[in-house]
Amino acid sequence: MDSAVLAPPVPAAQLAHRFAEQLAPGSIITDPTRLSTYQCDGLAHYRVTPAVVVLPQTAAQVQHVVRVCHELGVPFVARGSGTGLSGGALPHADGVLVVTSQMRRILEVDVANELAVVEPGVINLDVTKAAAVQGWYFAPDPSSQQVCSVGGNVAENSGGAHCLKYGFTTNHVLGVEVVTPDGELVTFGGRTRDTPGYDLLGAFVGSEGTLGITTKVVVRLLRKPETVQTLLAGFRSTDAAGAAVSAIIGSGVVPAAIELMDALAIEAAEAATHCGYPDGAGAVLVVELDGPVAEVEHTFAAVQQHCRDNGSFEIRVAADDAQRALIWKGRKSAFAAVGRISPDYIVQDGVIPRTKLAEVLSAMGELADAAGVRVANVFHAGDGNLHPLVLFDDGVEGEAQRAEEVSGGILDLCLSHGGSITGEHGVGSDKAKHMPKMFTEDDLDTMQRVRCAFDPKGLSNPGKVFPTPRLCGEVPGRRTEAHPLVQAGLADAF
């Protein structure tokens, strides 16, 4: 078995010495205090200190780092801004963390060809800022868009509020330059919309850093819509708001965004941003339409009617950009705002068919009540992409564990209602154990064949996505006995 993960660790000093052949001393971190900054991503309850952190400035430097790792059998993990919520950028204790925060150049904005070329560490919102002067923008808009990187967006196939109409990152990436796990520099896709051969770009987007490190991304730009209309609708219950969502989508209208917040999420947002959402609302919907003026005017009236027909007691239409920003401020700050009403919380991410919304939200409420914890909901309702926030107090004996159980139970609910264990936050370290609930052994083995084709030594972000660190020396196929690592007591089987 070709098992680089089992190779004895290479001393950090030796790695640093090799990296220094091509990286400036300031770009190599081995000091324990500085290393601790990189222990976790946005999922802070998993923490691992890496052996070495590097901050390359060029693709050639990334290539050098990866080549050294390949030669010595050292695992490496890419990190953009570290905002991931599934532990995808969790370092490996004996490995190297490759941080792209010094690769932030926007190399080209080419509106005639509807594209921009950027380095992987470029902040998502900065792409739009660069294109906005010419009236263009980059559509994927995670709520973390002010800080997350384009490389991270590609790795996670990130979504956001406007993915209902515009699709996920995968629909907005034309090509990537990648350092493969053996240190080769390759390109998947390009500057045009279709290339012959297998869709390796499609395989790479959403691969969570397990197939190599992106060093350049060609993103699609979109022309800013002629007009945008946004409304906030207050409902007495999430059931009523959910019914309005189904009515809007069922009528054939495709809003740019439909977001739902329940009473607890509204309470948190109010405490943090004083966004002035309707008094007494058990749920609010934020609905945004964009496009040509004539079309938006017509459909916006229809959307308001669907809200009223399903029990909305108050509808506010944003009269200008400032009012629109206030409506979105409450929604976009909701995750962080939950910190105002609970000392700790878990952000869950699952998908259900839209029509099951009321059923799943009520089952989720029962689950939380039985465990004695609270769940706040703020999510992309149009996509059926739930983001339940399971609130708990780590200071109360047993509460963290109960919250964790509720969080896992929510994913089971998503699956039993025909959904998925993640919508946009990825599998990472956090959900690897849930993958067998959704995929058969054959499915997982097939995915491993792809992974092994790129990374036979299993060095690129090991331990993520797949439930056990099955390695490439094994012939993929039906698993008939425990994995050798499990037998050796070195890994858990889930």
Ligand X SMILES: Cc1cc2nc3c(=O)[nH]c(=O)nc-3n(C[C@H](O)[C@H](O)[C@H](O)COP(=O)(O)OP(=O)(O)OC[C@H]3O[C@@H](n4cnc5c(N)ncnc54)[C@H](O)[C@@H]3O)c2cc1C
> Which chain residues interact with ligand X by CB under 6 A?
41-42, 77-85, 88-89, 100, 120, 142-144, 148-149, 151-153, 155-156, 158-160, 208-209, 213-214, 335-336, 424-425, 461
In 372-418, which ranges are continuous DSSP H helix? 399-416
Question: How many angstroms separate the CA atoms of 75 and 94, rounded?
Answer: 7
Q: Cβ 409 to ligand X, closest distance in Å?
A: 22
Q: Which is nearer to ligand X, 82 or 467 (CB)?
A: 82
Q: Which is nearer to ligand X, 257 or 367 (CB)?
A: 257
The count of residues in the chain is 494
CB 165 within 8 A of CB 252: no
Q: Cβ 156 to ligand X, closest distance in Å?
A: 4
Q: Which is nearer to ligand X, 217 or 240 (CB)?
A: 217
Q: Which residue number has the CB closest to ligand X?
A: 152
Q: Which is nearer to ligand X, 128 or 214 (CB)?
A: 214
Buried (b) or exposed (e) across 437-453, using 16+ Cβ within 10 A? bbbeeeebbebbeebbe
Q: Which is nearer to ligand X, 120 or 234 (CB)?
A: 120
Nearest CA among 348, 336, 335 for reference residue 422: 348
At 230, phi and psi to the nearest 5?
A: -130, 140
Q: Cβ 150 to ligand X, closest distance in Å?
A: 8
Q: Which is nearer to ligand X, 385 or 468 (CB)?
A: 385
Distance of CA 13 to the CA centre of its chain: 33
Q: Cβ 314 to ligand X, closest distance in Å?
A: 26
Question: How many angstroms separate the CA atoms of 374 and 263, rounded?
Answer: 11
| Backbone φ/ψ region at 103: left (φ over 0), alpha (ψ -120 to 50), beta | beta
Within 13 Å and on the Cβ side, how many CA atoms surround 347? Answer: 26
Q: Which is nearer to ligand X, 178 or 307 (CB)?
A: 178
* Joined tokens for residue 398: 């047993």
Task: Find the helix packing angle between 238-250 and 357-371, rounded to 10°.
Answer: 160
Q: Cβ 466 to ligand X, closest distance in Å?
A: 13
Q: Cβ 311 to ligand X, closest distance in Å?
A: 27
Q: Cβ 438 to ligand X, closest distance in Å?
A: 18
* Joined tokens for residue 291: 């496009």
Nearest CA among 313, 332, 324 for reference residue 265: 332
Q: Cβ 71 to ligand X, closest distance in Å?
A: 20
Q: Which is nearer to ligand X, 374 or 425 (CB)?
A: 425
